[in-house]
Amino acid sequence: MDLHGRIRLRHLTCFVAVAHERHVGRAAERLHLTQPAVTKTLNELELLAGTKLLDRGRHGAVPTAAGERFLDHAERVVHAFDTAVARLAGADESEHATVRIGALPSAASVLLPAVLGGLRARHPELDARIRTGTNTELLAALRAGDVDVMIGRMSDPETMAGLSFELLYAEALAFVVRPGHPLAGARATLPEVCEYPLVVSAAGTVPRHHTDVLLRRHGLELPSGTVETIDVAVAAAYVRESDAVWVVPERVPERDLVDGRLHRLPVDTVGTAETIGVIRSAAATSAIVDDVAALLRRAGHGTVRT
């Protein structure tokens, strides 16, 4: 069957939105359409294609093997159309361009200051928009085209389809307290640490998962008074002013450790290491995104180690 002229842009737009959102309802909201309209368009596309492109059910919508193969091409077409419309509207990359960077809060505090300085030197007129969030949120934003590049963690193969991951570094957890804390200077055990309130990452994040596994391995649970947050500024300020113990990816507090504002406890965190890398769409790139990746590579290799 000759599909040229039969598959329309609306078919591709709906398919890409549902594939990114993994849910017909959320895709409909994103496209400002009704759910029945999106469903009808998807049905038309699958009828024209002669194959099932999405497994749809109560729990969401996931591309089939054929859908995954088609997604890469559909993304290219939709991205090319969006770029063409932007150029017609005067949003030429050479005229006051914008780069949108997504980052885990922990990685943002470690890497982005140097990256932003490097971008300023290379592209003085470039606007940079920073978006922080959980890895799941940022991957969804990247697939949706709401960010151009992100600093995050590798996810499952299904979620990473169409995306590239470049390793920057791996980091384990650290237990951090204020100078003068009752545990500072002592070889504290985990049971002793858990006698104090902990500051931990939010549920659903990789650092939190590793924290929970580490505690369970020693027969422990989170103590009362625990604070959950992905805001590293809030966590650091709270720990500096209290007896709380911060369980955090080890590169986050490096500056404070070097400057003496925080102290790392000698707690064994073997087995909690996790990789951090640059993630971007394999289908859409630009010279500016390439520069961001290069600057992240340099910053990732040059972070301070204690």
pLDDT band at 89 (very low <50, low <70, confident <90, very high): low
Q: pLDDT, tens digit, for every residue of 267-285?
A: 999 999 999 999 998 776 7
Question: Quick check: 4 pLDDT over 70?
Answer: no
In sequence order, what E strands does 105-206 have?
127-132, 149-152, 163-171, 173-177, 198-200
Selected residue with higher pLDDT from 287 and 66: 66
> Quick one: DSSP state of residue 64?
-
Flag whether pLDDT at 21 surpasses 90: no
The pLDDT > 90 percentage for the chain reads 59
Predicted confidence (pLDDT) at residue 303 exceeds the cutoff of 80: no
The string of pLDDT tens digits covering residues 141-157 is: 998 889 999 999 988 88
Q: How confident is the model at residue 211 (pLDDT cuts 50, 70, 90)?
A: very high
Domains and CATH numbers, the chain: 9-88 (1.10.10.10), 98-170+274-302 (3.40.190.10), 173-265 (3.40.190.10)
Note the pLDDT tens digit of each residue in 156-167. Answer: 888 888 889 999
Strand partners, 103: 132, 151
Residue 115 has pLDDT above 80, yes or no: yes
Q: At what angle do helices 135-144 and 9-21 cross, to 10 degrees?
A: 170
Strands (E), the chain: 54-57, 60-63, 98-103, 127-132, 149-152, 163-171, 173-177, 198-200, 227-228, 245-249, 263-265, 274-281
Q: Which of 18-32, 174-188, 230-244 has the weakest average pLDDT?
A: 18-32
Q: What is the pLDDT of residue 30?
A: 80
pLDDT at 5 over 60: no
pTM of the entire predicted model: 0.65
pLDDT of 220 > 70? The answer is: yes
Q: Round the average pLDDT of the chain to a whole number and report it.
A: 88
Q: Determine the average pLDDT of the residues in 100-113.
A: 93
DSSP SS3 for 286: coil
